[in-house]
Amino acid sequence: MKAMTIREYGDPDVLKLEELPLPDPAPGEVRVQVHAVSINPVDHKVRQTGFFNYTNFPVILGWDISGMIDALGEGVTEFQVGDEVYGMIRFPQEGRAYAEYVTAPVADLARKPSNLSHTEAAAMTLAALTAHQAFERMELQVGQTILIHAGAGGVGHFAVQLAKARGARVIATASNHNRDFVLGLGADEVLDYRAQPFEEQVSAVDAVLDTVGGETLSRSFAVIKPGGWLVSIAGQPSAHQAQERDVNVERILVYPSQAHLDILSGLAEAGQLKAHVSQTFDLEQVAQAHQAQQTQRTVGKIVLTVV
């Protein structure tokens, strides 16, 4: 099978096309013929720095798949050959999804929503799971107000929709040129964070979802009510600021969950959740896809189409 591998960490040109043997599913796993793989910032971070320390070269990156099951490992009864599935596989272990075929634990997969293409379903995995898990952690409730940073991004565009689906009032930050896109996702208000600091435009929210980190994270404390929540996916909130402002904080790392994928599928099938795919590339063009993702200007998601 074709796979885009790396044999060293570094710039996008370390990604090389290789011909590798088909992987065999272990007990409890299936083999999936990959139709689409989505790209996340973690892909280029691992490629550049190797920060998850995978050492079994050739390493194959990629976690977010949608495709069709073509072989079953021992003991698998939940799925059959021919089923269309999607999921974030093995994260944060090596995903090995930049390939024509990949094996995956059954527990990391769910049935692909019938109304989504493989490209859309692949987009709706790591980023949407992250947003869902952040809201579970902060127990986002009907009627609460949440500020979502980077509402146009991969995580942010799902977060806006998922927060609305929970009945929250949603304020999101975005550059002015993405304002209409984010309003179209259902945001009640969009703040142009470049024109004016967001903390001068909003106050006393129940919760913040930080997808940016750094200063954006530390400045977010100022806009949260006492007793409110700050969940970050991009930095460690300060315990000192949390105590001083009486804010609950947590940095989360997304984890695979079939149950959570099933919730996302239900919302997608009900028309309450859509994946916005702004750019697609062929598997062999993954270096270009990484370069595009690294701009930090992605609107929605970037996806590799494999079949």
Ligand X SMILES: NC(=O)c1ccc[n+]([C@@H]2O[C@H](COP(=O)([O-])OP(=O)(O)OC[C@H]3O[C@@H](n4cnc5c(N)ncnc54)[C@H](OP(=O)(O)O)[C@@H]3O)[C@@H](O)[C@H]2O)c1
Q: For residue 211, state whether it binds ligand X (rule: CB under 6 A).
A: yes
- Minimum distance of ligand X from residue 232's CB (angstroms): 8
Residue 215 structure tokens: 């200063």
Choosing from 37, 42, 88, 128, the residue that interacts with ligand X (CB under 6 A) is 42
- Minimum distance of ligand X from residue 18's CB (angstroms): 26
Is the Cβ of residue 69 or residue 302 nearer to ligand X in the bound state? 302
Is the Cβ of residue 144 or residue 293 nearer to ligand X in the bound state? 293
Across 9-100, where does the E strand assignment appear? 16-19, 29-39, 64-72, 84-88
Sequence-distant (6+) residues with CB within 8 A of 171 are: 145, 146, 147, 148, 187, 188, 189, 190, 191, 202, 205
Q: For residue 77, state whether it binds ligand X (rule: CB under 6 A).
A: no
Put residue 160 in one of left, alpha, beta given phi > 0 → left and psi -120 to 50 → alpha.
alpha
Bridge partners of 128? Answer: none
Contact 34, 118 (CB under 8 A): no
Is the Cβ of residue 29 or residue 38 nearer to ligand X in the bound state? 38
Contact 228, 206 (CB under 8 A): yes
Site residue total, ligand X (CB under 6 A): 31
Give the binding range for ligand X (CB under 6 A) out of 2-10, 27-35, 223-231, 250-258: 250-258
Task: List, as one string, the DSSP characters of 185-226.
Answer: TT-SEEEETTTS-GGGT---EEEEEESS-HHHHHHHGGGEEE
Kindly give the interhelix angle for 154-165 and 258-269, rounded to the nearest 10 degrees: 70
- Minimum distance of ligand X from residue 155's CB (angstroms): 4
Q: For residue 297, state whether it binds ligand X (rule: CB under 6 A).
A: yes
Across 47-198, where does the E strand assignment appear? 64-72, 84-88, 101-105, 109-111, 145-148, 169-174, 189-192
Residue 264 structure tokens: 């996302």
Is the Cβ of residue 101 or residue 181 nearer to ligand X in the bound state? 181
Q: For residue 296, state whether it binds ligand X (rule: CB under 6 A).
A: yes
C-alpha closest to that of 304 among 279, 271, 268: 279
**Residue 271 is which amino acid?**
G
Q: For residue 278, state whether it binds ligand X (rule: CB under 6 A).
A: no
Site for ligand X, residues 140 to 199, rule: CB under 6 A:
149-150, 152-156, 173-175, 178, 193
- Residue closest to ligand X, measured at CB: 153
Q: For residue 103, state whether it binds ligand X (rule: CB under 6 A).
A: no
Choosing from 36, 88, 170, 254, the residue that interacts with ligand X (CB under 6 A) is 254
Q: For residue 256, state whether it binds ligand X (rule: CB under 6 A).
A: no
Is the Cβ of residue 41 or residue 67 nearer to ligand X in the bound state? 41
Choosing from 4, 231, 268, 299, the residue that interacts with ligand X (CB under 6 A) is 299
Choosing from 38, 103, 130, 161, the residue that interacts with ligand X (CB under 6 A) is 130
Read off the DSSP letter of residue 99: B
Is the Cβ of residue 70 or residue 250 nearer to ligand X in the bound state? 250
Binding site for ligand X (CB under 6 A): 40-42, 126-127, 130, 149-150, 152-156, 173-175, 178, 193, 211-212, 216, 233-234, 252-254, 293, 296-299
